[in-house]
Structure 1
Amino acid sequence: MSVVMSGLFRITRDVELRHTTEGTPIITLGMAYSYGSKRDDRGYLPTQFIDGAIWGERARALREHLVKGQRLFLTLTDVHTESYPSRGDGAPKTKLVGRIDQLAFVDRVQSDGEQGRAPAPAPAPRQAARPAPAASGAGFDDMDSEIPF
């Protein structure tokens, strides 16, 4: 059974690019996910820190667009824990990791590093309004009887 997680995440550190021995690019994102509805005494929701990975050419294409502090709506699959030794004393630690399958940008990053809400997509061009038919003085009796509905 594969665990899937979707929601709003914030990137917590710079994106890391590495390659497999076969040359496949992989980027790793450190992310924070706030959950629940009960806030602590400072007004913050509880937060879970998660590492997510994007594989392949998609990773190479997205790397420059993913920056620390940016918010993303993600779907993570294959969510699981991994063990690693701590930096200080080598004691075993665990972290939550997953594969990023779907990604949508919530924030855009401005040139000065300031975050802003992503712009709304441009509306589709409207067709020119057709002029109303001229009143002919005709009633329902003059209408075509083959109405297509």
Structure 2
Amino acid sequence: MMPTLFGLGRLGRDCELRYTGNGEPVTSLALAMNYGVKKDGKQPTVWIDASLWGKRAEALVPHLTKGTSLSVVIEDLHQEEWKSATNSGVRLTGRISNLEFAGGPKQDSAPAKPARQAAPATNHASSNLADLDDLIPFN
């Protein structure tokens, strides 16, 4: 039985769609997930490289942007060693079997509130319920 991870993470970069040699769509997700106990007001973070395959990958790539919160189930979770000319290390990786959006991209500032429009002045002496139909925006 392969290890499975259930968790909430945030995308560290926008996803890009690519295709295997036999034409199967795949995208890689860089997920930052918090774990453990806070130290000095910060909670440790682990990065997981997860892949999403098939039609789901094609359909969801436009929505998988940096900062988006996701609830994921990652199967076949394992460590992979990597080496570059100057560095080497170990990373966690796996295949996403279930994905749900848990919120939008992280905002640096609060979103602007829409301006309120003043209701048109009415003459209460001559108004009746039929006149109110023009004021209701969702007829």
1:40 is displaced (CA, Å) by 1.5
Unpaired runs of at least 5, structure 2: 112-139
User: Of the candidates 45, 68, 71, which is equivalent to residue 69 of structure 2?
Assistant: 71
TM-score w.r.t. length of structure 1:
0.67
Identify the residue that residue 107 of structure 1 maps to in structure 2. 103
Report the number of matched residues.
111
Whole-Å Cα distance in 2 between the matches of residues 115 and 10 of structure 1? 19
Q: What's the RMSD between the two structures over aligned residues?
A: 2.3
Unpaired runs of at least 5, structure 1: 117-149
Tell me if structure 1 keeps the 8 A contact 2:35–2:44.
yes
Identify the residue that residue 39 of structure 2 maps to in structure 1. 40
Give per-residue Cα distances to partners, 1:37-91, cap 9 Å, x unaligned: x2111x11111100110011110001001110111111100000112213x52x4
Tell me if structure 2 keeps the 8 A contact 1:12–1:32.
yes
Identify the residue that residue 130 of structure 1 maps to in structure 2. none
Task: Quote the sequence identity (%).
Answer: 39
Q: 1:115 to 1:83 in 2, by over 3 A?
A: farther
Identify the residue that residue 93 of structure 1 maps to in structure 2. 89
Say which one has the larger Rg: 1
Identify the residue that residue 48 of structure 2 maps to in structure 1. 50
TM-score w.r.t. length of structure 2:
0.72
Whole-Å Cα distance in 1 between the matches of residues 63 and 34 of structure 2? 22
Whole-Å Cα distance in 2 between the matches of residues 115 and 61 of structure 1? 29
Partner SS, residue 63 of structure 1: helix
Partner SS, residue 38 of structure 2: coil
Tell me if structure 1 keeps the 8 A contact 2:67–2:104.
no
Tell me if structure 1 keeps the 8 A contact 2:9–2:33.
yes
Identify the residue that residue 122 of structure 1 maps to in structure 2. none
Tell me if structure 1 keeps the 8 A contact 2:66–2:105.
no
